[in-house]
Amino acid sequence: MKNIVVQKFGGTSVRNLECMKQVLNNVRRPLAEGSKVIVVLSAMAGETNRLLALAKEWSATPDAAELDSLVSTGEQISVALFAMMAKDQGLRARSLLGFQIPIVSNASYGKARIESIDGARITEMLKDNDVLVVAGFQGVNEHARITTLGRGGSDTSAVAVAAALDARMCEIYTDVPGVFTTDPNMCADAKKIDRISYDEMLEMASMGAKVLQIRSVEFAKKYNVTVHVRSTFSDEPGTIVTQEDANMEAVQVAGVAYDKDQAQITLVGVLDEPGVCASVFTPIAERKILVDMIVQNPSREGRTDITFTVPRADLDQTLKLMEGLMPEIGYKALLSDKSVSKVSVIGVGMRNHSGVAAQAFRALRDENINILMISTSEIKLSCLIEDKYTELAVRTLHQTFLGQYQVG
């Protein structure tokens, strides 16, 4: 149905009565335009952490299914309070929990994946209601047990409901005005992006521009749901995340991102034999440590260097793993560096514009910033640099690619 708008509000947007009233104002906007509204809410800010702290007190290793049933009460409280307030204001509204729709997920408690949503049932309920208030973050599995979709899962709930209803728009409300070309705290020139493609948004989000959950963007891309990231506390339009179009390709670079949570490890003089990479990275993967960049030099005299990055918190554990591999792999030295960070330029236009990499390298060189590692994808160029240069590099790259550039 094209006259349905899905709106999602996070924990800070529903943290108290005043904020919920502001949410109600946002709900009234599409209502006034004749649309029905599905409001997806998170738990009130702090509530999920309160419940997790209780679980930790009650159990050293909380049962995953019980933990999901516990924390799902946070959203249940939000939607009940919001629905009763909306009814008080004369709106035809009711709350909907995951099991009531149902939003069916698999049984992976704590990080469940949505499998299906009964859009017909929601549509049926829209006959008697103008506002349906859906508990985000939660689903129900085939055993009628409550599941949760993982942190930030409410974004995914909203996009999934929008997909199930073929809604014309999924609005994700947050406490910032939209997605920026880079971190405004780091670069005063940062501008709000009016339109961005799913792929660019995925790269921006994974780089730390944490406005929108990665999984929800993947979902939006898969089901072609247009997402509008905007501020709860302003009527200004935010950022539209949508399918790539020709217009977007005219723009070389959409944004500049960075990630300070990087640590570098180098295995020097590894015997260059088949399977050596598997030997290095399998034990790391088994411990769920996320390896980001990987570089292997061409071998000389049968030996090579392998360099990769991991989150800083995982550095010590990863080094221990590598030390344990010494007899098997036979490297000559193990080096590591915690003082590194990654800066990236992102844009679908990079595919058709050669020279972005060269331009980026020149810009960094002009500021005497040494590049430690490079990795590239179709729409992204990332450079590992010394940590202390992060802010300078971001400002330099932003000025180079987005300084004169009119966004949109």
Residue 268 neighbours by CB under 8 Å, 6+ apart = 305, 331, 332, 333, 334, 335
Q: Which is nearer to a copy of itself, 54 or 285 (CB)?
A: 54
- Contact (CB, 8 A) for 265 and 295: no
- Using CB under 8 A, count the residues that bind a copy of itself: 38
Q: How far is the CB of 57 from a copy of itself (least distance, A)?
A: 6
144 lines the binding site for a copy of itself (CB under 8 A):
yes
Nearer residue to a copy of itself within complex by CB, 110 or 208: 110
Nearer to a copy of itself, 53 or 285 (CB): 53
Shortest reach from residue 27's CB to a copy of itself, in Å: 15
| Residue numbers 223-282 binding a copy of itself by CB under 8 A | none
SS3 for 400? Answer: helix
| Two tokens, residue 194 | 């009016």
Nearer to a copy of itself by Cβ, of 73 and 359: the residue is: 73
Nearest alpha carbon to residue 140 among 214, 203, 65: 65
Could you give phi then psi for residue 120, rounded to 5 degrees?
Answer: -65, -40
| In the complex, least distance from residue 47 CB atom to a copy of itself, rounded to whole angstroms | 10
Strands 255-271 and 333-346: antiparallel
Residues of this chain, 44-83, that bind a copy of itself according to CB under 8 A: 51, 54-55, 57-63, 65-67, 69-70, 72-73, 76-77, 79-83
Residue of 5, 7, 40, 94 interacting with a copy of itself (CB under 8 A): 94
By beta-carbon proximity to a copy of itself, the closer residue of 146 and 346 is 146
Q: How far is the CB of 60 from a copy of itself (least distance, A)?
A: 6
Q: Does the footprint of a copy of itself cover residue 20 (CB under 8 A)?
A: yes
> Rounded to the nearest whole angstrom, what is the least distance from the CB of residue 318 to a copy of itself in the complex?
31
Q: Which residues contact 63 (CB under 8 A, 6 or more apart)?
A: none
- In the block, tokens 């109600």 appear at 24
Q: How far is the CB of 310 from a copy of itself (least distance, A)?
A: 32
101-130 residues in contact with a copy of itself (CB under 8 A) are none
**Smallest gap from residue 280 Cβ to a copy of itself (A):** 37
**Cα 382 from Cα 95, distance rounded (Å):** 44
Q: Which residues contact 311 (CB under 8 A, 6 or more apart)?
A: 261, 262, 263, 289, 290
283-289 long-range Cβ contacts below 8 angstroms, 24+ apart: 283/321, 283/324, 283/325, 284/310, 284/318, 284/321, 287/314, 287/317, 287/321, 289/314, 289/317, 289/318
Q: Where on the chain is the footprint of a copy of itself (CB under 8 A)?
A: 17, 20, 51, 54-55, 57-63, 65-67, 69-70, 72-73, 76-77, 79-85, 87-88, 94-95, 97, 99-100, 144-146
